[in-house]
Amino acid sequence: MAVKQAQARRHTARHQAMLLALALTVTTLGHLAVDWAQSPQLQPGTATRLLVFGLLTAGLHQLVMRKLPHATAILLPAMVLLVGVGMVMIHRIDGVTTSGLATAQLLWFAVASVAFAATVLGGHWLQNLARYPYMLLAATIILLLLPLIPGLGAGVINGARLWIDVFGMRFQPGEAAKLTLVLFLAAYLAQHHTRLSAPDAPLALRQFGPVVLAAFGAVAVLVSLRDLGAAMLLLAVALLLVFVASSKQSVLWLGAGLFMAGAWLAQQQFAHVGVRFAIWRDPFDDVFGAGYQLSQSLFAFATGGLTGTGLGFGRPEDLPFAATDAVFAVIGEELGLLGTTAVLSVLVLIMLRGVRISTHAANHYLALVAFGVTVVFAVQTFVIIAGLTRLLPLTGLTLPFVSYGGSSLLINVMAVAVLLIIDNDTKHQAFTDRLKARA
Q: Would you say the C-alpha torsion 178, 184, 189, 190 has a positive or negative sign? A: positive
d(Cα 187, Cα 368) in Å, to the nearest integer?
8
In degrees and rounded to multiples of 5, residue 413 shows phi and psi of -65, -40
d(Cα 292, Cα 289) in Å, to the nearest integer?
5
Digit-coded pLDDT (tens) for 145-159: 888 777 776 665 655
Please tell me the pTM assigned to this model: 0.90
d(Cα 417, Cα 423) in Å, to the nearest integer?
10
pLDDT of residue 144: 83
pLDDT of residue 109: 96
| Mean pLDDT for the stretch of residues 181-208 | 70
Per the CB < 8 A criterion, the answer to whether 141 and 192 are in contact is: no
pLDDT of residue 401: 94
Digit-coded pLDDT (tens) for 32-63: 999 888 777 777 788 999 999 999 999 999 99
pLDDT of residue 422: 94
Confidence of residue 299 (pLDDT cuts 50, 70, 90): very high
Digit-coded pLDDT (tens) for 369-379: 999 999 999 99
Domain boundaries, the chain: 130-438
Quote the mean pLDDT of the chain: 83
Per-residue pLDDT at 198 exceeds 60: no
Structure-model confidence comparison of residues 172 and 220, the more confident one: 172
The vertex-386 CA angle with 381 and 387, nearest 5°, equals 105
d(Cα 395, Cα 54) in Å, to the nearest integer?
33
Q: Which of 234-238, 269-273, 377-381, 387-391 has the highest mean pLDDT?
A: 377-381
pLDDT of residue 5: 63
d(Cα 418, Cα 430) in Å, to the nearest integer?
18
Per-residue pLDDT at 2 exceeds 60: no
Confidence of residue 226 (pLDDT cuts 50, 70, 90): low
Per-residue pLDDT at 228 exceeds 80: no
Number of residues written out for the chain: 439
Per the CB < 8 A criterion, the answer to whether 237 and 279 are in contact is: no
Digit-coded pLDDT (tens) for 307-333: 999 998 888 888 888 888 889 999 999
Specify the range with the lowest mean pLDDT, choosing from 22-31, 104-113, 204-213, 415-424: 204-213
Per-residue pLDDT at 103 exceeds 70: yes
Per-residue pLDDT at 276 exceeds 70: yes
pLDDT of residue 362: 82
Per-residue pLDDT at 180 exceeds 80: yes
| Mean pLDDT for the stretch of residues 80-91 | 95
Structure-model confidence comparison of residues 190 and 86, the more confident one: 86
